[in-house]
């Protein structure tokens, strides 16, 4: 069993190299810092009872998994951002203000979409189709998808809430996103 000092010394010794590895993988300093920090916390939290000799390969595996999680999360966010951005008016019409994509579906005084009934109907139909497709997902996939991507829970939190392994959460989320993307494409909604 590694002592607190041994874990601390080990993490200090791999910090710089892990950061460079993460920066090389994600090409973003801030995201790389978050990734390394998450990996270090997971090692200290879950594997503090391991002997010091086992820490280097464990840390590398954890770091790689956190990097993969980052890319998966980014891929799903990009998918839904792309889908939801099609619901927004052109950026020149928005006066540069930040807004919630779903708010653009509601008619308002200053909302130019309110003038065009066809756009309102189309946007409403798209939202209903998305909601219907999410409801068609198997229970576990829907549960994992909503927790991970709507409630922004991480894999460990979702696994604990669902009472399953982190691998199962990842599998459920992957299957859900592929099913949703396929169903939306079949209905003519381009991503």
What are the tens digits of pLDDT across the range 63-93? 999 999 998 888 877 777 666 655 555 544 5
Q: Across the chain, how many H-helices and E-strands are there? A: 7, 0
Question: Is residue 48 a part of any domain in this protein?
Answer: yes
Question: Is residue 43 a part of any domain in this protein?
Answer: yes
Question: Is residue 51 a part of any domain in this protein?
Answer: yes
- How many Å is the maximal CA-CA distance in the chain? 68
pLDDT the model gives residue 11: 94
Q: Identify whether the C-beta of residue 120 lies closer than 8 Å to the C-beta of residue 114.
A: yes
CATH number reported for the structural domain that contains residue 46 in this entry: 1.10.1740
- The predicted model scores a pTM of 0.46
The range of the structural domain enclosing residue 16 comes to 1-67
Question: What is the chain's alpha carbon radius of gyration, rounded to the nearest angstrom?
Answer: 21
Q: Identify whether the C-beta of residue 77 lies closer than 8 Å to the C-beta of residue 149.
A: yes
pLDDT the model gives residue 164: 92
Question: Is residue 72 a part of any domain in this protein?
Answer: no
Question: Is residue 157 a part of any domain in this protein?
Answer: no
Residue 149 DSSP code: I
Question: Is residue 44 a part of any domain in this protein?
Answer: yes
- Number of domains making up the chain: 1
Q: What is the dihedral of CA 173, 179, 185, 187, to 10 degrees?
A: -120
Question: Is residue 58 a part of any domain in this protein?
Answer: yes
Residue 4 has pLDDT above 50, yes or no: yes
Express each pLDDT in 91-149 by its tens digit: 445 555 555 555 555 555 554 544 566 677 777 788 788 878 888 899 899 888 888 88
């Amino acid at each position: 069993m590694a002592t607190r000092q041994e874990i601390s010394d080990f993490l200090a010794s791999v910090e710089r190299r892990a950061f460079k590895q993460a920066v090389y993988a994600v090409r973003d300093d801030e995201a790389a810092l978050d990734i390394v920090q998450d990996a270090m916390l997971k090692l200290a939290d879950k594997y503090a009872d391991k002997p010091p000799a086992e820490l280097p390969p464990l840390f590398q595996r954890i770091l790689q998994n956190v990097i993969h999680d980052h890319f998966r999360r980014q891929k799903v966010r990009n998918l839904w951002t792309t889908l939801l951005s099609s619901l927004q008016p052109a950026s020149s019409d928005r006066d540069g203000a930040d807004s919630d994509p779903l708010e653009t579906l509601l008619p308002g005084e200053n909302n130019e979409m309110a003038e065009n009934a066809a756009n309102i109907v189309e946007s409403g139909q798209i939202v209903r189709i998305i909601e219907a497709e999410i409801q068609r997902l198997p229970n576990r996939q829907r549960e994992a998808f909503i927790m991970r991507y709507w409630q922004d829970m991480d894999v460990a939190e979702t696994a604990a809430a669902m009472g399953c392994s982190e691998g199962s959460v990842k599998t459920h989320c992957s299957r859900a996103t592929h099913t949703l993307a396929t169903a939306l494409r079949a209905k003519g909604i381009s991503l």
